Structure 1
């Protein structure tokens, strides 16, 4: 598993992921009042944070994309 995420991509994923995890918990805005949408948002946020942490995105591998400059 080689890294395919660059630093800017990692920071963006981490920030967006954290926002998607925290927004339903704070119920801001009320669009997250549906539990299905809230749990879905938190799941996507967790995936973004995990991929940022391990510097690897399986979807990027499938599409042949790499933002990492080795």
Structure 2
């Protein structure tokens, strides 16, 4: 898995994921557990959808 999530995208995914999981844990709707997806894609720096679309927000190093 080549990293394809980086920069602000990574931190936004982590923040949204944590917020959704916290909301679900505090009695929010069951669908809020979907926050696991952006949290994991942010932590692992890899998004399968980005890979399928050939996208990347990572800066390449030369």
Structure 2 equivalent of residue 17 of structure 1: 17
Report the equivalent of 1:67.
57
Segments of structure 2 that go 5 or more residues without pairing to the other structure are: none
- Equivalent residue for 1:54? 44
Q: In the aligned structure 2, how far is the partner of 1:16 from the partner of 1:58?
A: 18
* 2:32 pairs with one of 41, 53, 65: 41
Displacement of 1:10 after TM fit? 0.6
- TM superposition shift of 1:7: 1.8
How big is the shift at 1:41? 1.6
| More helix, by proportion | 1
Structure (1 or 2) with the larger CA radius of gyration: 1
Aligned-residue CA RMSD in angstroms? 1.2
Q: TM-score, normalised by structure 2?
A: 0.84
Identify unmatched segments of 5+ residues in structure 1.
Answer: none
- In the comparison of the two structures, how many residue pairs are matched? 60
Runs of 4+ in 1 over 2 A off after TM superposition: 24-27
